[in-house]
Amino acid sequence: MHTVLALETSCDESAAAVVRDGVVLSNEVASQVEEHARYGGVVPELASRRHVEALPVLVERALQGAGLPLSAMDAVAATVAPGLLGALLVGSVTGRTLARLAGVPFLGIHHLEGHLCSALVGDPAPQPPLLVLLVSGGHTELIALRQLGQYERLAGSRDDAAGEAFDKVARLLQLGYPGGPAIEAAAVGGDPQRFAFPPGRISLPEGGFHPYDFSFSGLKTAVLREVERWTQRGETLPVADLAASFQHVVCKVLVQRSVRCAEDHGLDGLVVVGGVSANSELRSQLQQACQARGLALHLAPLAWCTDNAAMIGLAACRRLAAGQSSDISLGVAPRLPLAEADALYGPPPF
Ligand code: KG4
Ligand code: ZN
């Protein structure tokens, strides 16, 4: 039996959780969103400082919530890549110190593996082979999971991540930060067909378009042009219709390309994780498309879509069960492809 204290501090959520063999015993999250909202996005230095302040309290609460002392932990885990450098360091140093104090192994966890594990729950848990659509504020990727721990990146965004597009368009529409939930709320009652925004396709040198890669920067510019047209005419922005039309096209391309990619690669299960997977329009479009094509759809519980430490604990339990742990001198990496997550368990790569 493995009981893990897990920490997450890669961006603007400070979090601690206790997970035992894939069962989440406690899950504490302190969001800094309101503070960063004042600046229209995440301020890295501010994020690090808030993690330093929040983490000890969250660790205390997570242990109390699980009804267990630190000495009952079999390992301590923390997100070490990818993310904001200073923010990652707070979790890493805290995690390694607590691991040493408790005399147990430390596990550095890849944030995206954490997101993935948030959907690999249930009884029975989804089994590979699977296609993973990872849609967060920093990543939009399609990854083949043929065996647990082995990741093959098949496609992704060539520019902005889907969550980043939501955040940027929300700013254009003056809806605040984070943009995803704000756009989703503003789109209620809006007409998703009113504006035909471009789906963002990647041209191939030999002609035609890339079947699965995404591009969201042109879509953001198209919304900007529409906003400019209305503003120049001195008319009130049709915010609900703009938000609904933008949301509709983002979800449509995510669903269409994921389904096609899964079918072309013979993967009959689709796992969708990351902050954007909380979007109800995306969840309903996915459900319809997967049902129509006979694909099994696996979505993370809503509470685990955005950043949390439960998912880091779930990933740590899988690594521990495979007999893996990290070197106590392991550092952090702001950028590390998911396909290289195994490197966190050998001699420290950084
Ligand atoms: O996974 P996450 O919490 O952090 C990263 O690892 O990036 O994802 C945050 C992103 C933000 O861009 C946010 O706007 C987006 O997820 N997001 C949503 C929704 N909730 C969060 N996007 C669309 N609809 C939502 N309901
Ligand atoms: Zn995340």
Check if 114 has its Cβ closer than 6 Å to any atom of ligand 1. Answer: no
> Which amino acid residue places its CA nearest to atom 3 of ligand 1?
306
pLDDT score of 40 more than 90: no
Q: What average pLDDT does this structure show over 210-214?
A: 97
Residue 218 CB burial class (10 angstroms; 0-12, 13-18, ≥19): middle
CA–CA gap between residue 65 and residue 68 (Å, rounded): 8
3-24 pLDDT per residue, tens = 999 999 999 999 999 999 999 9
300-312 pLDDT per residue, tens = 999 999 999 999 9
pLDDT score of 1 more than 90: no
Q: At residue 17, what is the residue type?
A: A
What pLDDT is recorded for position 201?
A: 94
To the nearest whole number, what is the mean pLDDT of the chain?
Answer: 96
* 188 is a domain residue: yes
Describe the crossing of helices 44-66 and 85-102 by its angle, rounded to 10 degrees.
Answer: 30
Closest ligand 1 atom to residue 161 Cα is: 12
Look at the pTM and tell me if it is higher than 0.85.
yes
Q: Tell me, what CATH number does 162's domain have?
A: 3.30.420.40
Q: At residue 60, what is the residue type?
A: E
Q: Are residues 175 and 35 in the same domain?
A: no
Ligand located closest to 280 CA: 1
Check if 26 has its Cβ closer than 6 Å to any atom of ligand 1. Answer: no
Check if 179 has its Cβ closer than 6 Å to any atom of ligand 1. Answer: yes
Q: Are residues 281 and 321 in the same domain?
A: no
Q: Are residues 258 and 327 in the same domain?
A: no
What pLDDT is recorded for position 147?
A: 87
What residue spans of 110-216 are helical by DSSP H? 111-117, 162-172, 179-187
* 92 is a domain residue: yes
Q: Are residues 111 and 144 in the same domain?
A: no
